[in-house]
Structure formats: C-alpha cells, structure tokens
Chain A
Amino acid sequence: MKVILVCSTGGHFQAMQSLHPFWRNHQRIWVTFYSENTKTTLDTERVYWAWSPTNRNLVNLVRNFFLAWQILSQETPHLVISTGAGVAVPFLILAKLLGRQTIFIESITRVKQLSLSARLALPFLDTLYVHWPQLQARYPRAKIIDS
C-alpha cells in the first residue's frame, strides 16, 4: 500500500516516527518541513518539503494546497495519515475529495479540546484517533488509542 505521511516538525514529527512499526511495512512518502532534524532523519526516505510556518499563515496555506494537489495527483496514494499540525489540513481535505483514505492521529497533548487542525480536517477524515477518554467523550466519532 502507498501511504503519504504528513506532519510538521518537532513533536508532530516525533509522533510520526513512533508509528514506524506501521509505516515501515508500506511504500511511503513523507511531507514535512525542512529542518536539520528532518533532513538527517529522513536521509534515505522519499520526502517533499512543505511550506512553513503554517500557523495562521494564509500564503503558506495556499502554497501547501497547491503542493498537496501536485503530490496527490502524481503519487496517487491509498492513504494519507497525519499526526498534525496545520500542514496536514490541505492534504487531508484534497485526499478525501479525491477518494483516498484519510487518518488523523491527534497529539497526546490534547486532552479536552481537539487541535484547530483536527477540527478543520474532521469532516474529511475516515478516522480520527485520540489519546484521552475525556476527548473521546466529547467527539464520539473519534477512536480511542488504548495503551
């Protein structure tokens, strides 16, 4: 199966790396921001660099929409999976509109309220995973990650 792994740097990237036992079995393409850490870590992986910052940055949101369109039409993945944050939103929306599977794994740091990215992407998600029962109680559609 072909998967696109989309996430920003820092903790979101760490979280995606911790999903290694899943993605190592699949053909995968990374979409993240260029940094010393991501460059070194993804040395042998296929990567597209997205535009940052995305926090309330309209220009980069538009640029990432175009990038998402380009990547999704060229690569035709089965699944787009994200651990956040903002950069994932255009990829998840377009992927769903193109009939692909979409998954968002909310950050473990979200206990009471979904992140803005998750709320924006929610209508376009096949599955939203959350870590805390408090959060799942608020969004019954979400699946809980039991440890």
Chain B
Amino acid sequence: MIFVTVGTEQFPFNRLMTWIQVLIKRGFIAEEVVVQYGSSTNIPTGVNSYSVLPPEQFHSVIKQARIVIGHCGEGTILLLAATAKPYILVPRSQKYKEHIDNHQVELAEALAQLDVPIAWSPGDLVRFLALPRLVPTTLISATSVCQQLHNRFK
C-alpha cells in the first residue's frame, strides 16, 4: 500500500493529487493507495481518501504502508525520520500557491544533496516507487537541542 500525505496545511496541494491520479490511470500504480489530502480540492479517484486522519489511524496507516509519499513539511519529516519507512518527498511550491513561500523547495534541494529521494515530477515518483530507498534517520533529531536546553536551564 502507498500512503500519500500532504499535512494539515491550509493550502491545497492539487499538483501532487493530479500526479497520483495520472500514475493510477496509466497503470504505474496498481496497488492500494491511501491519501490524506488536507486542504486539497482535486482528490484522486479509486483511492481511500481522508482530509485529516485521527492520530491513531494515521500511525496505523503509516505502519501498513510499503512506502510513504509526503510533502516537505516539518511534521511529515519528523514522523518519517522516526518510523524508518521508505519515503519520497514532494515539495510544495510558492509558484503554484501551495504555500506562503518557497521554503519547501529550498528544503527539498538541501535534502536531495543528502541523497533523500525528492520527486520533482511524476517521472521521479515512478522511478522511486519502483526502487524504494531507506533514508538515514540520523538526519533529524531533537536530542541535540534538548541537551543544549537542558544544560542551560537545569
């Protein structure tokens, strides 16, 4: 099963929704798909779709998923770092009014340099879905900031 999640952002991410729809229609995705579409308005057909999953159900979907396709938001990144699931990230772009600024694109460029699978096109999605990669989870950790805070305020 493929899980697609675009966070709880107030902006739609219809571009990614369309990519998923196209990949299903063209037969590049044949397995079950679960989509948490947030504020998106163009929801793919033939998938299990939810605007926002309750936390427990969200975690159980992540557990069952073969691979997760997520946007480049903080919550998604923290979560994927903690679950050690193969994933693909797709940045929201300011150009298409998917976020207030372009920070997700900047983050995606930086993560791509660290070998994190970033999809810039539907073709990238097809490529990464065929060859899921586990990403080093040491990338993101709150341990260091907690230690620094602890030392200052014990």
**Residues of A with Cβ closer than 8 Å to B?**
1, 9-15, 18-19, 21-22, 25-26, 35-37, 40-41, 53, 55, 78-79, 81, 103, 105, 107-113, 115-116, 129, 132, 134, 143, 145-147
Residue of B nearest to A10 (CB): B8
Min distance, Cβ A123 to any Cβ of chain B, angstroms: 20
CB of A105 within 8 A of CB of B145, answer: yes
Neighbouring A residues of B104 by C-beta, 8 Å: 109
Q: A37-B54, A111-B109, A116-B100 are in contact. List 7 more A-B contacts (CB 8 A).
A: A11-B77, A19-B142, A21-B150, A22-B150, A108-B74, A147-B143, A147-B144
Min distance, Cβ B66 to any Cβ of chain A, angstroms: 23
Q: Give the number of residues in B that approach A within 8 Å (Cβ atoms).
A: 37
Cα distance, A40 to B56, chains bound together (Å): 10
Neighbouring A residues of B148 by C-beta, 8 Å: 129, 143, 145
Within 8 A of A (CB), among B75-134: 75-79, 100-101, 103-104, 106-107, 109-110
Neighbouring B residues of A21 by C-beta, 8 Å: 142-143, 146, 150
